[in-house]
Structure 1
């Protein structure tokens, strides 16, 4: 009966009519449901139970909790029925059950539900107003590269971003640089400002190797000295300071080799449930993933399926997914004039470029060669690298010119006066 009364209250509010016991009774009578809800005496009697506005947030939380419990009861019944009827194998049922529970935790409605523009209009307008209030800020997660942020607005929720390059050009380094930058800038989560969290799925390097690389970048210590155990006491202290600084950033690393995309999705959902501030997922790299028990005919179809699953992951968790990818060897066989990567160079699948919202290529333009035995002193090894935005679903394409400090595995923006003619 209260649902009927509440619907009438909403209708009156939508028509900008006054809301009081008399107008509610008249509207209920007009709709022919007054007696169904208990009559005029019941409706007018509700007024004495009006709660204090000062406790409205607490009461709203109670209503929300009861709603979650009702959804949990319904979902648990569905899970139990699926298990009793053995509608699928045990692993698939477990994954489906975990997805249903995660949907409740994340506050999402059932899949496939339609929503009208009218229902979404208020939220869309509030989002636009919120962005307008922060006009001078990057709308998405900052990448740490100002030119890239100007072109993309940062890394945006639900986007699948592909960063591709040939081996040893620096795609892992750039992805880690971007993750650190994203986590370093506090953002608003509910009523608090917190560091965004990032999940890094490393299918190529171990957790320890990644942390060492992150610390060397932070402390500006050459990776080569760390590998050869040649750090001085001063560099060791810098390493410790860098490690202390990084411990404050919520970066979570999973180094499971050959991870199945379904398992990756479950791991990401569990982390999102435990760490609501999860705002970025990095995958290094796409071609090392495989689908277990897959019926696909060839590797190209498998990679296509993986890219679709990664896009679905970005949508479901509402976070940007930055997936690294290899380029085919065809790039190296072309002439120097025509050596820049193209979308067709994405290895093993054309579906990657279709599913991705943003596709970026790293292309080494210049790397100084040194004679054997030549000393470079304290100068780090630096190469000029172009970051090519070859596809952007919601923005321009173009090129950002960067310098790669290879010893520190760190990318920085190239000064405008050093940019070659015709560059971005």
Structure 2
């Protein structure tokens, strides 16, 4: 007999148990029973709960039927639902009208806990959706489409997750017209309560706000102009005005100030350059002296006081150059969740890139960017103010006031925009055509220069919500500051 010990036999591993999505049928039954027992329970639970959030589709259909009856002012109980579900195979399979009666009897003493059940059902639905999204992301990472790299997948994952966190679902779907009408009335009421005709975010320019009613959620506003017209300065003035109004409203608890939190995407200038412009505007110290450090002692106190105030402004700057439209979407969503967001400024849209590997041409790429900005405005329900360059054909005309056809790579800019504004300063062009001194032409030129000095026009080339017109502004170049003109053009 051998002394060698025999090896133990290998025990086969138990087969892995199938994973079951998070759910709680007892909570679903308890909530439905509580609603059937006391219809008022429905009005006390989370309004975000919908049919799709129930794990058992039969429970979802019961909940939907109860919602329809209760919102219509009718009774929802076992009797009223019996006929509705008489031909529903799912209900028949689990007991038909008898099942509805059991739900009512079992849940009668549990009505006080209905909100807890609703919250649990909603939370479990989000967890199931999160698992689904995770599986989709995992599949994309293992087998990415030909035109997607790892960064594209990360951006898509972030976009989807922020969408889920924002609304509890990756699909918004239809809404009834009653909801849209209610929102419309709320907009009008907001303007009335403020005692003005501004129902959106104020630009800080009285006549422009009068014509637009402010910048409204879901609107794409294009601010276009040739180089040196002051597009960035004007957009920064508007951003600062909105942020200052928000700050003042928060400090005084006065909701009449039509301001908001601003996200400023500066693809051309650094955050430090923008800050210098803001300091110059606020202190009335020339920006070139600020950059060069040629500041008097008494001006240091002005700058210090301004800095103390400006650092509390709800104005956030992203200076990433060449940012993609997907990255812009994700960062805007993140800002809205962490600090709030009421207005987005993009300087400027021709510098925003797309993730497409296709070489479809510049017009198609800019079209994709403008469509993406319009989608962002609708998804976050905030106005997006995007700056745009104009083509050189403006320079070839005697009257250099811009028009819609001058929009550079204008494939869909005009189509997607709700408002298109052009900033125009005749002074800029006149200053470059000075005739010979002491000549008759010079006298006429000087007369025109005096009339155009420090003046600007903001031309409304498209306004989906109101009139097309021109707003007169004052421009102080040494402070890079626009302001409302003392008197407006009479038409």
For the aligned pair, the TM-score class normalised by the smaller chain equals: 0.7 to 0.9
Output aligned runs, 1:3-402, within 5 Å. Answer: 3=59, 4-19=61-76, 24-30=77-83, 31-32=85-86, 33=91, 35-36=95-96, 38-51=99-112, 64-87=122-145, 89-107=149-167, 109-111=169-171, 114-115=173-174, 119-134=175-190, 135=192, 136-137=195-196, 138-186=198-246, 196-275=260-339, 277-291=340-354, 294-335=357-398, 338-366=399-427, 383-402=454-473
What's the CA shift for 1:60?
A: 5.9
1:402/1:411 contact within 8 Å kept: yes
Deviations 1:83-116 (A, max 9, x none): 34445543332222112101101106444x641x
Change (3 A) 1:209 1:95: same
Structure 2 CA distance, aligned partners of 1:126 and 1:192? Answer: 24
Structure 1: any 5+ residue segments left out of the alignment?
A: 372-380
1:402/1:412 contact within 8 Å kept: yes
What's the CA shift for 1:39?
A: 4.8
What's the CA shift for 1:398?
A: 0.6
Q: Which residue number corresponds to residue 412 of structure 1?
A: 483
1:219/1:241 contact within 8 Å kept: no
SS in 1 for 2:204: coil
Change (3 A) 1:48 1:8: farther
Greater shift in the superposed pair: 120-129 or 394-403: 120-129
Structure 1 CA distance, aligned partners of 2:400 and 2:125? Answer: 58
1:216/1:242 contact within 8 Å kept: no
What's the CA shift for 1:284?
A: 1.2
Change (3 A) 1:5 1:218: same
1:260/1:292 contact within 8 Å kept: yes
Structure 1 CA distance, aligned partners of 2:485 and 2:138? Answer: 59
RMSD, aligned α-carbons: 3.0
SS in 1 for 2:358: coil
SS in 2 for 1:157: coil
The number of residue pairs the alignment matches comes to: 395
SS in 2 for 1:404: strand
Larger radius of gyration: 2
What's the CA shift for 1:296?
A: 2.5
2:164/2:170 contact within 8 Å kept: no
SS in 2 for 1:149: helix
Q: Which residue number corresponds to residue 9 of structure 2?
A: none
Structure 1 CA distance, aligned partners of 2:356 and 2:388? Answer: 23
2:129/2:169 contact within 8 Å kept: no
What's the CA shift for 1:236?
A: 1.5
Deviations 1:151-176 (A, max 9, x none): 11111112111111111221111101
SS in 2 for 1:278: coil
Deviations 1:34-92 (A, max 9, x none): 83473524413322111179xx5x77655544443332222223222333444554333
Change (3 A) 1:201 1:47: same
What's the CA shift for 1:133?
A: 2.7
Structure 2 CA distance, aligned partners of 1:8 and 1:343? Answer: 51
1:382/1:406 contact within 8 Å kept: no
Structure 2 CA distance, aligned partners of 1:313 and 1:238? Answer: 39
Structure 2 CA distance, aligned partners of 1:159 and 1:262? Answer: 19
SS in 2 for 1:238: helix
What's the CA shift for 1:334?
A: 1.4
